[in-house]
Amino acid sequence: MRFFASESAGGIVLAMAAVLALVVSNSTLGGWYQSFLTFPGEVRIGAETLVLAKPLILWVNDLWMAVFFFLVGLEIKREFVEGELASRAQAVLPAAAALGGMVVPALLYAAINAGDPVALRGWAIPAATDIAFAIGIVMLLGSRVPASLKVFLTAVAIIDDLGAIVVIALFYTHQLSGTMLLGAGLAGLLLAVLNRQKVMRADLYIVVGLVMWLCVLKSGVHATLAGVVTALAIPLRDEHGDSPLEALEHGLHPWVAFLVLPMFAFANAGVSLAGVSLQTLLSPLPLGIAVGLVAGKAIGVFGTSWLLVRLGWAAPPGGASWMQLFGVCVLCGIGFTMSLFIGGLAFDGQGPLYETQLKLGVLGGSIVAGVLGTMILWRGRGKA
For 256-275, write each residue's pLDDT tens digit.
888 998 898 898 888 877 77
For 93-106, write each residue's pLDDT tens digit.
999 999 999 999 99
Of the pLDDT bands very low, low, confident and very high (cuts 50, 70, 90), residue 358 is very high
For 228-254, write each residue's pLDDT tens digit.
899 999 998 888 888 889 999 889 988
Cα-Cα-Cα-Cα dihedral of 272, 277, 278, 282, to 10°? Answer: -60
pLDDT average, residue stretch 131-137: 78
The pTM (predicted TM-score) of the whole model is 0.79
* Buried b / exposed e along 18-54 (16+ C-beta atoms within 10 A): bebbbebbbeeeeeebeebbeeeeeeeeeeeeeebeb
Residues 6+ apart with CB under 8 A from 37: 55, 56, 57, 267, 270
Q: Comparing 328 with 150, which gets the higher pLDDT?
A: 328
Contacts from 275-279 at CB under 8 Å and sequence distance 24+?
276/356, 276/360
* Chain-centre distance for alpha carbon 252: 16
Q: What are phi and psi of 25, to 5 degrees?
A: -70, -15
Distance CA 237, CA 232 (A): 13
Mean pLDDT of the chain, nearest integer: 86
pLDDT at 6 over 60: no
